[in-house]
Chains A and B, each alone.
Chain A
Amino acid sequence: MTGCVSDADLCREEESLPFVVFCAAGCRFGIEASQIQGSDGSVDASLRTVESLLGLPEDLSGSVRQRLRVRTPESAAAFSVGVPVDLCTFSIREIFPLPPFIAARCRLPALLALVIAPEGLVCLMDVPGLLKARQVQGEILTCPDGDNLSG
């Protein structure tokens, strides 16, 4: 995981939040760092992709992937994401709630907020919501480390 810092450097610590930002389907997504256990290169074909969780097209040919281990209060899971995987801190001022038409029409599960960073748009996701969306569809996600997601 590499590091990048946005305008939040200028803000007090309590007015900013760290996120782990990664790529999927040509877009950038962020998950609150407190919901991430770690990131490594242990990626194999059995590992679920974040694109499949998000319902986005998968085109993984030639792309470098990393494993992201996430946790919720109830359980843990892992999935692969596209690089670069960065730790970014966004100030509260940079984080926008979803405009009503995006909230109503966007079919991404667990999309919470948006950040317009210097590098482009970052979609901020909620891990419990993301995993729950798949469970609602009848899937039981299993963490490669052995944990079942039954919460």
Chain B
Amino acid sequence: MSESHLEQLLAKRRNDVRQIVKEDEPTVTLVIFSLAEDWFAFPGTQIREILAHADVFFVPGCPSSLEGVINVRGDIESVFRLHDLMQIKPPEEEGKSAILLARTDSMSSGLRVDQVMDVVEVPRSALQIPPAGLSEQTGLLASGVLRFRERLVTVLDLEKVFTQYLRGMG
């Protein structure tokens, strides 16, 4: 029995979809944020939540970069400033600052940033290897760079960020 027109049409559509998926370029979601004048990003898969406002409880005996802990729906997370790790002067006022709830397979923490600029999906091919001109500290923590809104955005390696902070950097 020959296929009906509808079946032929559906088969064609299925092929079209396969073609689109095949030709689709792999993408990556990035959470882009600023620290002073510089823009950075983490892969969206590593950012669980973006908190615009959260009461941070000061824990005595911690370095100034470690702001304290926050209550996240009945659990607690530490919060530390990325500025110190990136050797960037933190702002005097909080302004539009936000806390990124970041996690790797083994650790999680809140990260204070100056402003979340955007959450975007970009082709993986848009990510370039970090250029040699980055500062030593940024180069140590960078996994890639991309151009976004006429700016250079440095994509940070969260595992390295956590490891370096645990080791006492920042």
- Give chain A's interface residues, CB within 8 Å of chain B: 25, 27, 54-56, 93, 96, 99-102, 104-108, 111, 114, 116, 120-121, 123
Contact = CB atoms under 8 A, between A and B. Distances in A.
Contacts, number: 66
Given A100-B107, A105-B166, 11 more contacts: A96-B76, A99-B69, A99-B76, A102-B59, A105-B62, A105-B168, A107-B61, A108-B61, A114-B69, A116-B71, A121-B57
Contact of B60 (A25, A93, A100, A104): A25
A56 B168 CA distance: 20
Nearest to B166: A104
A102 B168 CA distance: 11
23 contacts: A25-B60, A27-B58, A27-B60, A56-B60, A99-B109, A100-B78, A100-B166, A101-B66, A101-B80, A101-B166, A102-B62, A102-B78, A104-B166, A105-B62, A105-B165, A105-B168, A106-B66, A107-B61, A108-B61, A111-B61, A114-B69, A116-B76, A123-B60
Given A25-B60, A114-B59, A102 B166 contact: no
B105 interface: no
B164 to A, nearest CB: 11
B102 to A, nearest CB: 11
Among A25, A54, A101: residue with most chain B CB under 10 A: A101
Interface string B51-86: 000000111111100101101001111101000000
A99 B57 CA distance: 13
Interface of B: 57-63, 66, 68-69, 71, 74-78, 80, 107, 109, 162, 165-166, 168
A96 B70 CA distance: 12
B77 A108 contact: no
A120 B107 contact: no
Given A99-B76, A100-B166, A106 B71 contact: no
B63 A121 contact: no
Contacts of B75: 96
A54 B61 contact: yes
Contacts of B69: 99, 102, 114, 116, 121
Contacts of A96: 75-76
